[in-house]
């Protein structure tokens, strides 16, 4: 195994033990305090029988314990498996069974579905989220490679969740590349907000590990909601660097509105990822926070950051920026043939940040990984300067009578109509045209009707792109980052 992430953190803590490292519950922790907690957790793990290649499932909010447990686990050659405590019993049972963990660590202060967890016959250990763990005995399982640092479960757009094994090299190379690519990132100056859910790679890696491994400071909040509380944390910890998804950014703006503009003036960088960033939101962010948003793009299989607008002066709004150093790319057609530059194509990636396979899943591995290349499943366009525009998920393309319809294009038109808060478009099977377009609508104005929307779309879109069916809803099914799950909408 190459560089172990625990050694990187340990060296930082020993080099400058008194430097502020983690803001938690209204106070700053020094690097030494975090290092001491990590050492105590490692001692507990060693006494429990934990050994190289074992895995620890966590059902924790964002907290110091998750980071300390990760570092301790890595030092002993194991892997951490962060799961969403609200994922539901079926999803949790499936993931836990597949992960075969040594132990399941849960918070001692948050009620969970213990009946479901106990049925897994894996020891369940309640622990203090500040970083204290009780003694326990785990269950040794079939070991995984000792270079695996984190196992993330991701469903993508179709099928059951897949386990993505991020190695130490995957994570370290991605953190190094992201820090180099972000011209605004200076470890000694940055205070990052750790509010994205850490059971997802975007939050865990960009908000937790990036500052942890580069020696920057981070302010941890257990959950982003409610946004008013998070806004207060941003003020108290003097956060100046925020990575968030569009839904979170919109909620922060709404919280700022409620303060009558009394918002932190020290925020200098806001990066958006996880979903397409609405261009119209950029002006609102600028109005209240005084900065423009830099949109990025990533995938769990890429550890996760793939591309981002490097800074405000070089950003191209509407794009996800340029590739991080270390990535190679190819654009291919649906038959995996490489196509020429300047055209639209499916993005394939290779590099040290890209995982080799799915964990114990040869079928899905064979479908997505070929000769070191990973098929992102995303249809993109790359301009002459290397800026990437995400056109759509290939699996979300609607084909009407042989013509491709990209949901985002239709949604953008619908979202511009007065009285429409948000829309989501999917393809519905049709006996003649193959598919027709259906729009799910969240209204600001309940008076908006199907008839007027159809008339409006006919003026704005080619006839095959016009939604034939409309359904007004209160909200959409979403994942933990707020991204709309089109598959759920298609399934009804």
Least confident of 94-103, 291-300, 384-393, 399-408: 399-408
In sequence order, what are the beta bridge partners of 429?
435
Instruction: Give kind and range of the element (H or E) at residue 412.
Output: helix 407-415
- CB count in 10 Å sphere of residue 248: 22
Whether the pLDDT of residue 330 is over 70: the answer is yes
Q: Is the bond preceding residue 59 a cis peptide, omega within 30 degrees?
A: no
Name the architecture of domain 5-168.
Answer: 3-Layer(aba) Sandwich (3.40)
> According to CATH, what is the number of the domain 397-491?
3.30.300.30
Whether the pLDDT of residue 457 is over 80: the answer is yes
Question: Token pair of 379, please?
Answer: 């249809």
Question: Token pair of 124, please?
Answer: 């369940």
> What was the pLDDT predicted at 430?
84
Q: What's phi and psi for 94, nearest 5 deg?
A: -65, -45
Q: Taking a C-beta distance cutoff of 8 angstroms, is the pair 144, 79 a contact?
A: yes
Task: Characterise 112 by phi-psi region: left (phi > 0), alpha (psi -120 to 50), beta (else).
Answer: beta
Q: Taking a C-beta distance cutoff of 8 angstroms, is the pair 425, 411 a contact?
A: yes
SS3 288: helix
Q: Taking a C-beta distance cutoff of 8 angstroms, is the pair 97, 90 a contact?
A: no
Question: Regarding beta strands 269-272 and 293-298, do their DSSP bridges make them parallel or antiparallel, or are they unpaired?
Answer: parallel
> What was the pLDDT predicted at 6?
97
Task: Return the closest-CA partner of residue 101 out of 359, 480, 361, 357.
Answer: 359
Query: Please, which pLDDT band fits residue 342 given cuts at 50, 70 and 90?
Result: low
> What was the pLDDT predicted at 249?
92
Question: Regarding beta strands 148-154 and 162-167, do their DSSP bridges make them parallel or antiparallel, or are they unpaired?
Answer: antiparallel
Question: Token pair of 171, please?
Answer: 């994570």
Q: What's phi and psi for 301, nearest 5 deg?
A: -65, -10
Q: Is the bond preceding residue 226 a cis peptide, omega within 30 degrees?
A: yes
Please say whether the dihedral angle defined by the alpha carbons of residues 448, 449, 455 and 457, taken in this order, is positive or negative.
positive
Tens-place pLDDT, residues 15-41: 999 999 999 999 999 999 999 999 999
Query: Please, which pLDDT band fits residue 96 given cuts at 50, 70 and 90?
Result: very high
Q: Taking a C-beta distance cutoff of 8 angstroms, is the pair 65, 133 a contact?
A: yes
Whether the pLDDT of residue 158 is over 60: the answer is no
> What was the pLDDT predicted at 228?
95
What's the alpha-carbon Rg for the chain, to the nearest Å?
23
Residue ranges covered by each domain of the chain: 5-168, 397-491
> What was the pLDDT predicted at 87?
75
DSSP one-letter string for 158-217: SSS-EEEEEEHHHHHHHHHHHHHH-TT--TTT-EEEE-S-TTSHHHIIIIIIHHHHHT-E
Question: Regarding beta strands 55-58 and 124-127, do their DSSP bridges make them parallel or antiparallel, or are they unpaired?
Answer: unpaired
Question: Token pair of 476, please?
Answer: 């959409």
Please say whether the dihedral angle defined by the alpha carbons of residues 28, 32, 33 and 37, taken in this order, is positive or negative.
positive
Query: How would you label 111-143 residue by residue, b for 16+ Cβ within 10 Å and e otherwise?
Result: ebeeeebeebebbbbbbebebebeebebeeeeb
Whether the pLDDT of residue 458 is over 60: the answer is yes
> What was the pLDDT predicted at 412?
87
> What was the pLDDT predicted at 157?
42
Give me the mean pLDDT over the 350-356 stretch: 97
Q: What percent of the chain has pLDDT over 70?
A: 97
Question: Token pair of 189, please?
Answer: 């100056």
> What was the pLDDT predicted at 224?
93
Considering the entire predicted model, what is its pTM?
0.85
> What was the pLDDT predicted at 160?
64
Give me the mean pLDDT over the 429-447 stretch: 91
* CA pair distance 309, 326, nearest whole angstrom: 16
Whether the pLDDT of residue 466 is over 60: the answer is yes
Tens-place pLDDT, residues 211-260: 999 999 999 999 998 999 999 999 999 999 999 988 899 889 999 999 98
Task: Return the closest-CA partner of residue 127 out of 75, 197, 57, 188.
Answer: 57
Q: Determine the distance from the C-alpha atom of residue 163 to the mean position of all C-alpha atoms in its chain, rounded to a whole number.
A: 15
Average pLDDT, the chain: 92
* CB neighbour class for 342 (10 Å; exposed up to 12, middle 13-18, buried from 19): exposed
Give the max Cα distance, the chain.
70
SS3 284: helix
Q: Taking a C-beta distance cutoff of 8 angstroms, is the pair 194, 207 a contact?
A: yes
- Which comes out higher in pLDDT, residue 400 or 134? 134
Least confident of 137-151, 272-286, 466-480: 272-286
Question: Token pair of 97, please?
Answer: 């069974």
* CA pair distance 406, 387, nearest whole angstrom: 20
* CA pair distance 219, 28, nearest whole angstrom: 9
Tens-place pLDDT, residues 164-174: 999 999 999 99
């Amino acid at each position: 195994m190459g560089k172990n992430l625990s050694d990187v953190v340990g060296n930082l803590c020993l080099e400058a033990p008194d430097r502020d490292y983690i803001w938690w519950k209204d106070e700053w922790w020094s690097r030494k305090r975090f290092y001491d907690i990590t050492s105590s957790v490692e001692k507990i793990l060693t006494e429990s029988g934990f050994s190289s290649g074992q895995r620890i499932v966590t059902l924790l909010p964002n907290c110091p314990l998750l980071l300390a447990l990760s570092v301790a686990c890595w030092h002993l050659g194991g892997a951490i498996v962060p799961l969403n405590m609200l994922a539901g019993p079926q999803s949790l049972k499936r993931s836990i069974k597949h992960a075969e963990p040594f132990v399941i660590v849960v918070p001692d202060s948050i009620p969970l579905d213990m009946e479901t967890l106990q049925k897994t016959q894996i020891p369940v250990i309640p622990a203090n989220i500040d970083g204290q763990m009780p003694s326990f005995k785990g269950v040794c399982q079939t070991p995984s490679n000792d270079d695996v640092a984190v196992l993330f479960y991701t469903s993508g757009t179709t099928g059951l969740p897949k386990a993505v094994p991020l190695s130490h090299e995957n994570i370290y190379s991605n953190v190094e590349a992201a820090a180099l690519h972000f011209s605004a990132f200076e470890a000694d100056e940055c205070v990052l907000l750790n509010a994205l859910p850490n059971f997802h790679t975007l939050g865990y890696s960009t908000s937790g590990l990036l500052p942890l491994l580069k020696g920057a400071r981070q302010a941890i909040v257990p959950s982003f909601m409610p946004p008013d509380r998070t806004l207060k944390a941003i003020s108290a910890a003097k956060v100046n660097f925020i990575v968030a998804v569009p839904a979170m950014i919109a909620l922060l703006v709404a919280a700022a509105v409620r303060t009558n503009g009394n918002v932190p003036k020290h925020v200098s960088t806001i990066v958006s990822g996880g979903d397409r960033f609405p261009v119209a939101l950029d002006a609102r962010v600028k109005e209240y926070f005084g900065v423009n948003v830099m949109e990025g793009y990533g995938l769990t299989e890429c550890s996760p950051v793939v591309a981002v607008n490097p800074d405000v002066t070089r950003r191209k709004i509407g794009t996800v920026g340029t590739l991080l150093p270390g990535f190679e790319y190819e654009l291919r057609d649906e038959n995996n043939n490489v196509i020429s530059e300047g055209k639209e194509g499916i993005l394939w990636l290779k590099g040290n940040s890209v995982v080799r396979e799915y964990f114990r899943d040869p079928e899905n591995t064979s479908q997505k990984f070929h000769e070191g290349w990973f098929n992102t499943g995303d249809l993109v366009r790359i301009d002459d300067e290397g800026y990437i525009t995400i056109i759509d998920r290939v699996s979300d393309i609607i084909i009407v009578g042989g013509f491709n319809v990209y949901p985002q294009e239709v949604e953008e038109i619908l979202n511009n109509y007065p009285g429409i808060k948000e829309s989501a478009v999917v393809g519905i099977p049709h006996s003649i045209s193959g598919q027709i377009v259906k729009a799910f609508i969240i209204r600001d104005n309940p008076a908006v009707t199907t008839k007027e929307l159809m008339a409006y779309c006919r003026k704005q879109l080619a006839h095959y792109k016009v939604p034939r069916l409309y359904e007004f809803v209160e909200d959409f099914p979403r994942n933990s980052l707020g991204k709309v799950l089109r598959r759920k909408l298609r399934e009804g």
